[in-house]
C-alpha cells in the first residue's frame, strides 16, 4: 500500500498500517448524493401475529409474561424483564393514557403528515409498556400528560403499524 507506514504490531507477527499517512498528498473529493436502498424483511413470528391481528381483526395484541406478569405492547417474544420465554397473547384495550408527547413543527420529507404533528407515548389499558404513535383531533397546546385517548383504525389496512391510523382524545 503506497504512502502508509508499516510496523510490526506484535499480534501474531501481523503488520499494522498507519492510516493517517495513507492519504497524505491526496485531495479529498466530496460528492453530495442520496442513496435509496429499498428492502424487505420478515417481521418475525411475534410481530407478524401482532400486525395480522391489526389488519384482520382490528385487535391490538400484546404478550403477557407467564413469569412476572408484565404485558408488553408492542408484543415481545421473550420477557425483557425476567427473561422468561413463555409468553401468552392477550388483547389490549383500544383506549389508554398519554405518558409523554412532543410536537413536530418543522415539515421534513420523512414526515408523512402535515405539521404540526403530535407524537404520543400511549400506555393502553392492560399494558405495562407504551406505544409510540400520532395524536390527532386536538390542538397541540391542549395536549396533556395523563389525558385519555383512543385508537382510530385506518379504513384500508395492510398489516402494518399504520393500521392504527392515530390516537384521538377519548370521546371523539
Give tens-digit pLDDT for 108-156: 888 889 999 999 999 999 999 999 999 999 999 999 999 999 999 999 9
Tell me whether residue 3 is in a domain.
no
What is the pLDDT, as a whole number, of residue 111? 86
3-state secondary structure of 6: strand
* Distance in angstroms (rounded) separating the CA atoms of residues 164 and 83: 29
Angstrom distances, CA of residue 61 to CA of 2, 49, 122, 152, 157:
59, 8, 14, 15, 16
Length of the chain (residues):
172
In the chain, the N- to C-terminal Cα span, in Å, equals 68
Q: Count up the domains in the chain and report the number.
A: 1
- Assess whether pLDDT exceeds 60 at residue 9: no
Of 3 and 145, the one with more pLDDT: 145
* DSSP character string of 102-129: EEE-S--TT--SPSSEEEEEEEETT-SS
Tell me whether residue 154 is in a domain.
yes
Tell me whether residue 97 is in a domain.
yes
- What is the mean pLDDT of the segment spanning 76-87? 96
Tell me whether residue 98 is in a domain.
yes
* Domain containing residue 87: 45-169
Instruction: Give pLDDT tens digits for 31-58.
Output: 788 888 888 888 899 999 999 999 999 9
Tell me whether residue 92 is in a domain.
yes
Amino acid at each position: 500500500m503506497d504512502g502508509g507506514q508499516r510496523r510490526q504490531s506484535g499480534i501474531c507477527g501481523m503488520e499494522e498500517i498507519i492510516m493517517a499517512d495513507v492519504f497524505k498528498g491526496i485531495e479529498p473529493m466530496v460528492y453530495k448524493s442520496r442513496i435509496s436502498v429499498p428492502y424487505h424483511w420478515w417481521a418475525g413470528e411475534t410481530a407478524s401475529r401482532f400486525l395480522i391481528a391489526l389488519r384482520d381483526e382490528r385487535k391490538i395484541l400484546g404478550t403477557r409474561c407467564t413469569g412476572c406478569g408484565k404485558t408488553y405492547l408492542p408484543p415481545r417474544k421473550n420477557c425483557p424483564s425476567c427473561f422468561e420465554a413463555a409468553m401468552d397473547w392477550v388483547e389490549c384495550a383500544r383506549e389508554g393514557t398519554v405518558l409523554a408527547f412532543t410536537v413536530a413543527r418543522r415539515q421534513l420529507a420523512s414526515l408523512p403528515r402535515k405539521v404540526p404533528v403530535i407524537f404520543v407515548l400511549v400506555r393502553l389499558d392492560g399494558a405495562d409498556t407504551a406505544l409510540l404513535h400520532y395524536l390527532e383531533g386536538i390542538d397541540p397546546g391542549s395536549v396533556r400528560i395523563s389525558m385519555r385517548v383512543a385508537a382510530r383504525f385506518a379504513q384500508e389496512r395492510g398489516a402494518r403499524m399504520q393500521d392504527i391510523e392515530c390516537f384521538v382524545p377519548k370521546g371523539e
